[in-house]
Amino acid sequence: MDTINNNNKSVDISVIIPTYNKYPQNLLTLFSLENQKFDLSKVEVIMVDDGSTDQTSQILKNHNFSFNFKYIKNIKNVGRPAARNIGIRASSGSILIFLDAEILVQPDFLSIHSHYHKAQHNAVVTGVLFIKKLYSALIPGFSDSQLEQFKTLLKHNPALKGKYVEFLKNDDYTPLMSKSHILNQSYKSLSVPTDYEEFYKRIIIKNYGYKLLNYQIPWQLFGTGHVSVQKQAIEEVGLFTEYPGYGWDDLEMGYRLYKNGAIFTTDRKLVSYHQEHPVFEGIKDESKINYYRFQETYNAVDQMVISLTFLPVPFNLHEINQILILYKKLCHDYPVKFSLLKKNFHYMLREIGRLVSKQLPITNLKPKSSQASEEISTLKEKKLLEEIGEYHLFLKCYERLEKL
């Protein structure tokens, strides 16, 4: 591993960017970080080049930045969580911002994150709710759906049509923007909203607001594409767990932070732009396996409840949060009663994760009772809970799992 510094000034904020063969998109990200309304003498950007074979290593040689730029080159690819850990170890700031290599940020990006961390100890500020798609280039390997989505931009950007024709003819990397587009913010015309952006607004923001009040699974918003946390908080809970493959290492970190008292929040102005690129379909399978690793590490209902999003007809995040609130209320109000419902609910949640990790159908979740009396006792518990009348959504969830 080689480390190159271009400055040694003291800093308040460390932006940690792992990258693997993302040039020149990662260069555009650096330009957006330079275009900040913030004192960049207090900022370091740590780019951990995780064994790239493209031109990433030439960035420091060919460009000077207003912030302190630390370039760390891994000889071998070690994976995203390990690369982030390298960045954490190399960081000097009291605030750590994790950013994907292809995410463009707006000029108030650093100011917003800094504001929240100064106002709230142990804050986590997430921007993953408001990430838009951006077509900064046409890239060989784009899916049909990506190309179809790009074509919707041609209506309002007719100048792009020539670029699109050129791309179809040559099947070669075709840039659509440069540094000037970032400086004048015109790159936004190349963006499209995402489905999950609208989903987050409708399901999370509408019900819990930007402060995420009473949202008890905020750790699932700790997406390292765009999130910040105080370095002290990381030091208290430890570095990222270095899962192999793709996914869930960041949410596992979010879970640890939340259990350690972190206060999660977001801001409507934290809009950022993900530069689209081809996606390896295998990451979906890797993610499911890593979810199971995460699940089995803690084996707790407040963590495994997220598996309800994997169902053939999933519960949404608002429903899941309400189910968790009711489960916690049940445990608090009746610490001894309803032991079979609690045990079976735990079992069925855990079974979902196991089946998903093995790419098996989510079915036959109901525990097989060895005694008929236990089945009768479970029915009695369900009837009694229904009579209490405060646990309708929890019972609805429980019975849906039983029937799968």
**Domain residue spans in the chain?**
2-133+192-295, 144-173, 299-403
Q: What is the pLDDT of residues 121-163, one digit of tens each?
A: 999 999 999 999 999 999 999 999 999 999 999 988 888 999 9
Between the CA of residue 367 and those of 57, 80, 299, 403, what are the distances in Å? 55, 37, 17, 11
- 3-state secondary structure at position 404: coil
pLDDT of 371 reads 73
pLDDT in tens, 205-220: 999 999 999 999 999 9
Task: Tell me the CA distances in angstroms from 329 to 200, 340, 390, one per residue in order.
Answer: 26, 16, 10
Neighbours of 209 (CB within 10 A): 13
Q: In terms of DSSP H, where are the helices of 103-200?
A: 109-119, 144-151, 160-170, 179-183, 195-200
Q: Do residues 69 and 60 lie in contact, with contact meaning Cβ atoms separated by under 8 Å?
A: yes
Distance CA 365, CA 345 (A): 10
pLDDT at position 5 over 70: no
Three-class SS state of 179: helix
| Mean pLDDT along residues 312-320 | 97
Strand partners, 264: 124
Rounded to an integer, what distance in angstroms lies between the CA atom of residue 376 and that of residue 147?
A: 57
* Complete DSSP assignment for 317-330: HHHHHHHHHHHHHH
**What pLDDT is attached to residue 70?**
97
Give me the CATH code for the 2-133+192-295 domain, please: 3.90.550.10
State the helix-helix crossing angle for 339-357 and 392-403, rounded to 10 degrees: 50
> What distance in Å separates the CA atoms of residue 361 and residue 118, rounded to the nearest whole number?
47
For the chain, give the mean pLDDT.
94
Packing angle, helices 249-259 and 283-298, rounded to 10: 30
User: Per-residue pLDDT for 2 more than 60?
Assistant: no
